[in-house]
Structure 1
Amino acid sequence: MDFFRNVSLKIKLLGIYFMGLVLLGVVGYGFFIYLEIDNYLRDKEIFDKQAQYFQEKSFNHMKYTMDLHGILTKLYTSAGEEQLGREDIIREFVNNVLLFNDNQYAFALYDFSGDLISSSGSEFETLMNFSPGNRAKIVHLIKQAYETRIHGSYIDFAAKDEPRGYFVNTMYFEPLNYYIMSLDKTEAAEKNINSILKRKRMEIIKAVGFSFLLGLVATIIVIGFLFTYLRGMTKNINSITESIDALAASGETDMKLKAGNKDEIGRMIEAFNNYLQKRINMERFKQLIEEDQNIVEVYTRIFTLLDTFGIKNFAIYEVDDAKNRINYLNHEICGDSCTLEPMPCASDILIHADECRAKRLAQTVMGEPEYRSCPKFLGYDEGRKHMCIPIIIGGTAGEVVHITIKPEKEEEFKNKLPVLQEYLRNASPVIESKKLLKNLRETTLKDPLTGLNNRRFLEEYTEFLIAENRRKNTNIGILMCDLDYFKKVNDVHGHEVGDKVLQMLSAVLKSSVRASDIVVRYGGEEFLVIIKEAGDDEAVITVAEKIRENMQNYEMKISPSVTIKKTLSIGISIFPRDTENFWQAIKFADISLYKAKEEGRNRVIRFRQEFWDDHGEDY
């Protein structure tokens, strides 16, 4: 058994095939021989029955001949009383025989020399006249009958088309020295049963021999074809092995195996190449997203991936576990160009993340109109199906890829699904890493107390802000804000209350400006507000007054029984109207704030050049 395991595939297949041929020969030839022997036995049974039939036929024929002899004897005896001559006896004999004769037999009277005396028909006369050989055979029968008184035999007579065989009985009638000859006009089915059986046996021997030779030739031909095929197959297998070894040794991801033909081996090579190409594509995709600068670029690449899969109706949701919210990324990443439909799910999943079934279960959710597994999907009434695939990060759903499936695309999507899921699984650790880096970066750019951007953020964002402003050719309003008498809050109520006051101030600032504007905790109780696309001075002053009034009117409840109010002083500068240097514009706003403090606090002061002239040396 170990030897069989270790031999080459060619020898294994040849051995199996040879054993198969042997079994086929034993079974096939054995069955053939069985059929031939069975036919032989059946034929023998038939021939035995025919032999019995011929015996009965011979008996009846002999009885008929003896009846003829009896009639002739009776006529001869009565002829003496009636004084009849030889010719009268013969005539009476013929007439009497014709009364009970049937078409099966013919009879005739011959003398010893073989001359025909009389007959019941033309059969004997025709036979004798056809050839001398036939007359000689009749004469021979007469001589046999003379010696034995009665004689029966099967004789082949010459005929026009082919020899005809008859059973002939000859009986000697001594008083008249004539010979009664009767002929069975029906031909025998076979001349000789033993010869038929012998011929049948020879046919069986020939058939078996021919089958064996034919099978041997066929076996040799098939083995030749098989050997040729196996030689090519083993060559392909060796080539595959060498290619895989070379692939492993070189590490070349673009290397592919070559198939010599399109048989099973060729299809196997093609399947391997397809699998290898898929793995290569996945590795390249993973490498690309690893090299992407931030999570937004990774999301953009996933959008492109879905498009290459032919998936048009999709949405990607980002889960914010800290806030238990979900962000709809389609419009944020690529606007309306990456989806053919609005958000496919109910909007309440954005506010309460656990309303999303795929997020809550952290497993793929498949829904269809008949079984509405996710009540938040809005396409059931249109007969659509959907699949939500979570991207698992740290054991929970970090993102959810929602795909709406049209009925006519369902089978095509099912074929692509396993590969798509593999791509998303490969992307999971990269997404986790990018989000972690994003969160770490945000913590360095955010003020931990108020959640506002800090001064470091402003330093990194300034270049982009200036470039954007120049491109749009607009102004930027810069508001430096400071709480009035904030030190008293810390001294009277403590630093914990002071922190709460700063948090409330940050809330007032954010609620008083647009979402596109930027609020920065610049340091201590100082806050910087950047008004983008600010317009003229009046517009910026209006925003500043709004902030000041909102703060002035805001009641800060620092305990169940204590409520305080605080005022705000604001200094304004406008970039680039006041200066082409952005950081100098911030200094101008800071000088204006200082001026507001000097003039009594709780006021808004617009920068003027004399402020710099009076206090520029302080900066």
Structure 2
Amino acid sequence: MVECDGCKTSTLETQVKGLQDLIEVAKAVVSTLDLDTVLQAILSSAMGLVETPAGSIALYFESKRELSLHAHHGLSSEFVKMERWSMTPGGLSEQVLKAGEIFFVEDTEKTPFFNNPIAIKEGIRSLVCVPLTYQGRMVGILYLNDFVARSFDHDKVNLLSILASFAAMAINNATLHKRTKVLAITDSLTGLHNHRYFKHFFKQEMGRARRYHKPFSVIMLDVDNFKDYNDSFGHATGDDLLRLLGGLILQTVRGVDVAFRYGGEEFIVLLPETKLENALLAAERLRKAIEGGTAKHLVGTATRGVTVSIGVASYPDNADNMDELFNIVDSLLYRAKRCGKNKIYHQESLLLPTT
């Protein structure tokens, strides 16, 4: 059979368009480390290549066998509100994972293993599933959906494979970048944020509190007799104590609060949109958690745990600017240490520990 000139031209134009899309995707991958931006660009190109009205990209977390939605288009709000889901045994995603290659479903109603009730309710009738692998490890899946049963042009598989390689590379690069950023603002011993990030976050949250007329509180705490503890049990055990304190603080504070290792054995917790009275309650929870938690987990501290002295101050009750607020909470902390330790100070009132 002789192929007509018009058909050749159409095929060539399609190939050129596909290559142009790949170049645009490549530009997006190298121009930004924002994962969602890159994945949305890849999704748009893949949908254009296969001519589907909808699609999504989900990242895969092997340790939990979970998928997490990171880019989507053309799907209902009801469908995309399920941002994270587990890999269903025998389901479509698991088959893609096991096969490690592009998977076509031309009619979901004639596919026995396609039994996802949410996808069925969405009206998805055909789809292409593209595994996103980097160095032999699956990092996600690209889904291209249509709402009618149809066949797909398998000749475009090679272009989809290249797009998938870009997507996997983007995921890896963005993940490494994010991990590096986290390490840069994290104290390696305690796992809390470090002093450098404290200065940035304190300024940011103080500015937000003043701009929107919201309360903002600061808790500053210091380990009592830490030098004696180090002298008695050694610096390695002292590091174990600080590591334990980091974990206890993270377990005790609310999700919206942010904890820092300010330096040495000093810690700070910033509490956005929190009045003084609520900050005092949080400080007392911390004091009790640390005394009880260290007594339970540390060896060699006799029958009682390590204690902390705490200062608490709030905007706008105690100060009108960042420097003044910090100086007040710092002075309150050291007043608590001078007055017997294991106490919480706020302005002139002293809260005695509960016995």
TM-score surpassing 0.5?
Answer: yes
Q: 1:456 aligns with which of 196, 220, 226?
A: 196
Structure 2 match to 1:316: 58
Question: Does residue 1:395 correspond to 2:136, yes or no?
Answer: yes
Task: Look up the SS of the partner of 2:79 in the other structure.
Answer: coil
Percent of residue pairs identical: 21
- Alignment partners' CA distance in 1, 2:94 and 2:311: 47
Task: Look up the SS of the partner of 1:453 in the other structure.
Answer: coil
Structure 1 match to 2:351: none
Q: 2:289 aligns with which of 550, 557, 562?
A: 550
Q: TM-score, structure 2 length as denominator?
A: 0.76
Do 2:309 and 2:341's aligned partners in 1 also have CA atoms closer than 8 Å?
yes
Tell me: CA distance 1:312–1:584, structure 2 relative to 1, closer, same or farther (3 Å).
farther
The Cα of 1:561 is off from its aligned counterpart by 11
Question: Does residue 1:595 correspond to 2:335, yes or no?
Answer: yes
- Alignment partners' CA distance in 1, 2:286 and 2:83: 39
Structure 2 match to 1:330: 69
Structure 2 match to 1:343: 82
AA at the equivalent of 1:541: L
Deviations 1:70-120 (A, max 9, x none): xxxxxxxxxxxxxxxxxxxxxxxxxxxxxxxxxxxxxxxxxxxxxxxxxxx
Question: Does residue 1:426 correspond to 2:169, yes or no?
Answer: no
- Alignment partners' CA distance in 1, 2:313 and 2:199: 18
- Alignment partners' CA distance in 1, 2:343 and 2:177: 42
More helix by proportion, 1 or 2? 1
Tell me: CA distance 1:524–1:366, structure 2 relative to 1, closer, same or farther (3 Å).
farther
Do 1:521 and 1:527's aligned partners in 2 also have CA atoms closer than 8 Å?
yes
Structure 1 match to 2:224: 484
Q: 1:439 aligns with which of 175, 179, 185?
A: 179
The Cα of 1:468 is off from its aligned counterpart by 3.7
Structure 1 match to 2:318: 578
Task: Look up the SS of the partner of 2:341 in the other structure.
Answer: coil
- Alignment partners' CA distance in 2, 1:333 and 1:580: 44
Do 1:372 and 1:380's aligned partners in 2 also have CA atoms closer than 8 Å?
no
The Cα of 1:317 is off from its aligned counterpart by 2.2
The Cα of 1:526 is off from its aligned counterpart by 1.0
Q: 1:372 aligns with which of 113, 117, 122?
A: 113
Structure 1, unmatched stretches of 5+, are 1-262, 350-354, 609-619
Tell me: CA distance 1:370–1:502, structure 2 relative to 1, closer, same or farther (3 Å).
same
Q: 1:279 aligns with which of 12, 16, 19?
A: 19
Do 2:283 and 2:310's aligned partners in 1 also have CA atoms closer than 8 Å?
yes
Q: 1:517 aligns with which of 252, 257, 265?
A: 257
Structure 1 match to 2:352: none
Structure 2, unmatched stretches of 5+, are 349-355
- Alignment partners' CA distance in 2, 1:364 and 1:457: 43
AA at the equivalent of 1:582: M
Task: Look up the SS of the partner of 1:330 in the other structure.
Answer: strand
AA at the equivalent of 1:424: A
Do 2:256 and 2:272's aligned partners in 1 also have CA atoms closer than 8 Å?
yes
Do 2:221 and 2:309's aligned partners in 1 also have CA atoms closer than 8 Å?
yes
Q: Which has the higher contact order (CA 8 A, sep 6+)?
A: 2
- Alignment partners' CA distance in 1, 2:44 and 2:213: 34
Structure 1 match to 2:215: 475
Task: Look up the SS of the partner of 2:191 in the other structure.
Answer: coil
The Cα of 1:387 is off from its aligned counterpart by 5.8
- Alignment partners' CA distance in 1, 2:306 and 2:6: 82
Tell me: CA distance 1:598–1:344, structure 2 relative to 1, closer, same or farther (3 Å).
closer
Do 2:43 and 2:55's aligned partners in 1 also have CA atoms closer than 8 Å?
no
Tell me: CA distance 1:454–1:410, structure 2 relative to 1, closer, same or farther (3 Å).
farther
Tell me: CA distance 1:280–1:441, structure 2 relative to 1, closer, same or farther (3 Å).
same
Tell me: CA distance 1:365–1:303, structure 2 relative to 1, closer, same or farther (3 Å).
closer
The Cα of 1:588 is off from its aligned counterpart by 2.1
Task: Look up the SS of the partner of 1:297 in the other structure.
Answer: helix
Structure 2 match to 1:269: 9
Tell me: CA distance 1:284–1:427, structure 2 relative to 1, closer, same or farther (3 Å).
same
The 5 Å alignment of 1:147-546 reads 264-302=4-42, 310-312=52-54, 314=56, 316-319=58-61, 324-325=63-64, 329-330=68-69, 340-343=79-82, 346-347=85-86, 363-364=101-102, 370=111, 372=113, 388-397=129-138, 399-401=139-141, 403=143, 408-411=148-151, 419-534=159-274, 536-546=275-285
Q: TM-score, structure 1 length as denominator?
A: 0.46
Do 2:313 and 2:328's aligned partners in 1 also have CA atoms closer than 8 Å?
yes
Do 1:478 and 1:528's aligned partners in 2 also have CA atoms closer than 8 Å?
yes
The Cα of 1:471 is off from its aligned counterpart by 4.9
The 10-residue stretch of structure 1 (428-437 or 292-301) with the greater mean CA deviation from structure 2: 292-301
Do 1:445 and 1:457's aligned partners in 2 also have CA atoms closer than 8 Å?
yes
Tell me: CA distance 1:483–1:425, structure 2 relative to 1, closer, same or farther (3 Å).
same
- Alignment partners' CA distance in 2, 1:280 and 1:474: 50
Higher Rg: 1
Give the count of matched residue pairs: 334
AA at the equivalent of 1:551: I
Tell me: CA distance 1:480–1:504, structure 2 relative to 1, closer, same or farther (3 Å).
same
The Cα of 1:538 is off from its aligned counterpart by 0.9
Tell me: CA distance 1:471–1:458, structure 2 relative to 1, closer, same or farther (3 Å).
same
The Cα of 1:296 is off from its aligned counterpart by 4.1
Deviations 1:133-163 (A, max 9, x none): xxxxxxxxxxxxxxxxxxxxxxxxxxxxxxx
Deviations 1:393-429 (A, max 9, x none): 23212x3125385672453597876644432222332
Do 1:391 and 1:424's aligned partners in 2 also have CA atoms closer than 8 Å?
yes
